[in-house]
Amino acid sequence: MVVINGDRHWQYASVDAATGLREYGCGSTSDAHAGGYNESDRTPMHRYLKIVGGFLAVTVERVNGRARAVFRHYGTNGEINHEDVLIAP
């Protein structure tokens, strides 16, 4: 199970150590609106944390008979800042 959060001003991917729940925050659409958190506050649960604008895109596809979801955080100019791939068992 994953949670996708659209109400944040920073991009992040985290995994809860107790439950394994993954959470992705899309961040604000512009760098001007990014803020409210500090990258120095990063915790062990954060797999990715960046205080920037951009967006989160998710694709779900089948590769070699197995489903996979690809989560990509993009910057405001379209560059990929982070990628996480989850493959079904």
pLDDT the model gives residue 21 = 97
Total-model pTM: 0.90
- What pairing do the DSSP bridges indicate for beta strands 80-87 and 2-5? unpaired
Residue ranges of domains in the chain: 2-87
pLDDT the model gives residue 38 = 86
SS (H, E, C) 7-72: CCCCEEEEECCCCCCEEEEECCCCHHHCCCCCHHHCCCCEEEEECCCEEEEEEEEEECCEEEEEEE
Single-letter residue type at 72: R
Q: Residue 64 pLDDT > 80, yes or no?
A: yes
pLDDT per position as a tens digit, 1-59: 899 998 779 999 999 999 999 999 999 999 999 998 888 889 999 999 999 999 999 99
pLDDT the model gives residue 47 = 96
Q: Report the residue count for the chain.
A: 89
